[in-house]
Structure 1
Amino acid sequence: MAEIVAMKRSMEEGPVHASLSGGILTLTLANPPANALSIATMEALQGALDQARDDDAVRVVVLAAAGKVFCAGHDLKELTAHRADADRGRAFYEKTMRLCAGVMQSIVRLPKPVIAEVAGTATAAGCQLVASCDLAVATTEAMFATPGVNIGLFCSTPMVALSRNVSRKHAMEMLLTGEMIDATTAREFGLVNRVVPPEYLNQIVRKYAETIVSKSPLTLKIGKEAFYAQAEMGLSDAYDYAVKVMVENMMARDAEEGIKAFVEKRRPEWTGE
């Protein structure tokens, strides 16, 4: 808890604001109007995720944004400024893309569920950010796109997260056309879980988060890791792996307590062991 309190103080004026309540850590992109993923923003986001990883007070992470744009992707002005470098920006672009890839992988590998709360437009790396989260809830006004192709820059890194969340045809439609899709289409594609009126967004996200907080933290950690690991395996290997995970999960104290509580018709008391 002390780590998060300290983090909150240090991030109140930065590009990412942190707030912890009831086990739910809300990380808000706070650099409107674009909430672009500049180096400073990505470093702040990475730092917050790193601290949340080992803090037992954090059970669920919510990614939100201030303003009408969730995230417009990389800071194009920042990228363009480095064209004047001796290497025409190569080193800076390498740093930017690798930092972004690290943030996205940290979200997937975080042993706690991450929910995207999308109240506005999410494009390019911003769309990648949404796709990288475990769950995503969007308002009816939200829009999504991977528009790099429109400026001569194929969204190759956003493609990694996008193609792991929607069908290949839908991913290619977004990547090849660069056109915006509305929230309803994003839900049909599988990019978001729910589409809700703007006034209910925070309430619905909070309900998701509180439901997840009520579960065993150990079980969530085991399950999230296993979900992404088996998704990259062939069918036979996935089942072999899942059997081992299931057996180890059964040996956990929380599984013993959960089953016993179910039989006894009472609420389980989780210990995280």
Structure 2
Amino acid sequence: MTQTTNTLVQKHTEGGITTLTLSQPEQRNSLSMAMLDALSEVFTALESDDETRVVVLAAEGKVFCAGHDLREIRSQFDSHEFQLALFRQCSKVMQQIVNLPKPVIARVAGVATAAGCQLVASCDLAVAESGARFATPGVNIGLFCSTPMVALSRNVPRKHAMEMLLTGEMIDAGRAERLGLVNRVVAAEELDGTVYQMAATIAGKSGHALKVGKAAFYRQLEMPLSEAYEYTAEVMAGNMKAVDAQEGISAFLDKRDPQWQDK
């Protein structure tokens, strides 16, 4: 078990599961430049962390993430350079989550709005407690949620994404599940059990297979059908050369548990 604590993001690893906890509840876990820098740093480190097989993204307090720090943004109204750097850094972090060679599960308790909703949408999986709520409310303050739109529109049907973006209204956890923004909605007291059971199930798989599969999933999404099949046929043929694939198939046929080497 390893644990690292700083004022912005806490990191705890146990049993192959690393939990990252946004730790500024008094700031509604806003994605300030400092928070984004901290997240970027930890995701970079996780890329080569052999101890971590699955990542859980959580938050302290009653708000999962309220999006960007509007006070920070207001203090920099006159700096186009800062605004561009902020949104670029946010976009980088979201892409780091997608490109991380380990699955990322959002554990959502409370409200996730604007870039906070984007954060949930960027994760591979999401489990929410029944009281969670979601919104992309930038339109309400004259700042359309354009970067959150990228992740949102890749997770929920087009017209529902547009409704969230154009109205800025909150949706409850049940609707978020129906739209595909989250995988499961559970009672608050069942949230940790559900999240960590899911994480443990995934952590028990071949790390090599998870890495190959996650990368292929996102790449093929943007391809035409025939190109996607050609690409994934090559991926599977390459995957067959892996030690774990040959071990897994042999273990299945021999009716025994596989011994993964993550290669």
Would the TM-score normalized by the shorter structure come out above 0.5?
yes
- Do structure 1's residue 77 and structure 2's residue 67 form an aligned pair? no
Show the counterpart of 2:205: 215
CA deviation profile, 1:120-143 (whole Å, cap 9, x unmatched)? 100000000000000000000000
1:31 pairs with 24, 27, 30, which one? Answer: 24
Aligned structure 1 segments of 4 or more residues deviating by more than 6 angstroms: none
Q: How does 1:66-145 map to 2 (within 5 A)?
A: 66-83=60-77, 88-145=78-135
Distance 1:194 1:74 in 2: 26
- Do structure 1's residue 56 and structure 2's residue 50 form an aligned pair? yes
Show the counterpart of 2:11: 18
Aligned residue type for 2:188: P
Distance 1:187 1:18 in 2: 27
Aligned residue type for 2:249: I
Distance 1:30 1:98 in 2: 22
Q: How far is the alpha carbon of 1:13 from its aligned partner?
A: 3.3
Q: How far is the alpha carbon of 1:212 from its aligned partner?
A: 0.4
Distance 2:9 2:206 in 1: 28
- Do structure 1's residue 257 and structure 2's residue 251 form an aligned pair? no
Distance 1:89 1:142 in 2: 34
Distance 1:236 1:264 in 2: 35
Aligned pairs, number = 262
- Do structure 1's residue 188 and structure 2's residue 181 form an aligned pair? no
5+ unaligned residues in a row in structure 1: which ranges? none
Distance 2:182 2:167 in 1: 20
Q: How far is the alpha carbon of 1:219 from its aligned partner?
A: 0.1
Q: Secondary structure at the match of 2:150?
A: helix
Distance 1:59 1:188 in 2: 28
Q: Which moved more, 1:30-39 or 1:103-112?
A: 30-39
Q: How far is the alpha carbon of 1:44 from its aligned partner?
A: 0.6
Show the counterpart of 1:157: 147
Q: Secondary structure at the match of 1:137?
A: strand
Scaled by the length of structure 1, the TM-score of the pair is 0.95
Distance 1:232 1:263 in 2: 35
CA deviation profile, 1:200-240 (whole Å, cap 9, x unmatched)? 10110000100001000000000000000000111111111
Q: How far is the alpha carbon of 1:272 from its aligned partner?
A: 1.0
Aligned residue type for 2:165: L
Q: Secondary structure at the match of 1:128?
A: helix
Show the counterpart of 1:235: 225
Q: Secondary structure at the match of 1:104?
A: helix
Identity of aligned residues (%): 60
Q: How far is the alpha carbon of 1:250 from its aligned partner?
A: 1.0
Q: How far is the alpha carbon of 1:18 from its aligned partner?
A: 0.6
Q: Secondary structure at the match of 1:26?
A: strand
Show the counterpart of 1:272: 262
Distance 2:214 2:11 in 1: 23
Aligned residue type for 1:76: L
Scaled by the length of structure 2, the TM-score of the pair is 0.98
Distance 2:142 2:79 in 1: 16
